[in-house]
Homo-oligomer: A and B are copies of this chain.
């Protein structure tokens, strides 16, 4: 056995130990098919005890780990599958399809999510004099990386804080900074640094995405948005798509339709009003696009969902 192989062996076994500890911690705080917002702001824990169908979900800027099980994320034509040995970073808000592909009663999928704040990342880059990214080109806003022991340990310490709530205000930010630092210098650090470096194309696109996220119900002028990002219309398109796998309009449409669905489902709003609320000016157009996205026209889709929920509840 070579030294290299020995190191890997040791590393791997340490990793497994750390993952085991993480599983225990997650299990202490969450129950089956449970999602918990913890006392550490931005830190979420969850477990789920069976595979799911793909479902629409919005990823926020965050880093996601699973201590057990596996998930599949669909972004445009790309597929990202991650498990206990791979983390996933989303550097912007991204509409995706998410599916738990590996989970069971005996071995539920157990996950940790830590939301990332771009300002923190930028601050850390300045503070630690990390080099500006080489390439100007913008790439996908989602990336997979290999889980390392120090990273796992940091997460472990973060979760351990939940037992010592008084330490959270002081220690949580420190540990979060450590995690971010480890990501920045890790294999996918370049990506994160691109997003965070002010004025870069990635950063400009990220700003545009933030704007859309807030103002999706307003009517959208791509030309203006491009001007804001100091790019030509077509260049803006190019970079937007390379980051989100969606055209700006498709992105806005996703936001609009998902919000409309939420309004009808949770706030019991009728189709026409929901359509209007999210920025559509004609109900017929809304109906057509809703149908295209969710597979059924508004009312029928909502009825389906209600029946499904009732069935699960009973």
Q: Which residues of A contact B (CB under 8 A)?
A: 221-223, 226-227, 232-233
Contacts and interface: CB of A to CB of B under 8 A. Distances in A.
B227 A232 contact: no
A88 to B, nearest CB: 36
Ordered nearest first, which 4 A-B pairs have the shortest CB separation?
Answer: A233-B233, A223-B232, A223-B233, A223-B223
A232 B226 contact: no
A221 B223 CA distance: 12
Chain A, interface SS category: helix
A219 to B, nearest CB: 12
Contacts of A222: 232
Contacts of A221: 232
A229 B62 CA distance: 42
Contacts of A227: 223, 227
9 contacts: A221-B232, A222-B232, A223-B223, A223-B226, A223-B227, A223-B232, A223-B233, A227-B227, A233-B233
Q: Which of the listed residues A222, A223, A226, A232 has the most CB atoms from chain B within 10 Å of its own CB?
A: A223
A220 to B, nearest CB: 11
A222 B233 CA distance: 10
Given A223-B223, A223-B227, A233-B233, 4 more contacts: A221-B232, A222-B232, A223-B226, A223-B232
Nearest to A221: B232
A233 B221 CA distance: 11
A53 to B, nearest CB: 39
Contacts of A226: 223
A232 B225 CA distance: 12
Contacts of A233: 223, 233
Nearest to A236: B223
A117 to B, nearest CB: 32
A41 to B, nearest CB: 41
Contacts of A232: 221-223
A152 B296 CA distance: 69
Contacts of A223: 223, 226-227, 232-233
A221 B233 CA distance: 11
A226 B227 CA distance: 12
A235 to B, nearest CB: 10
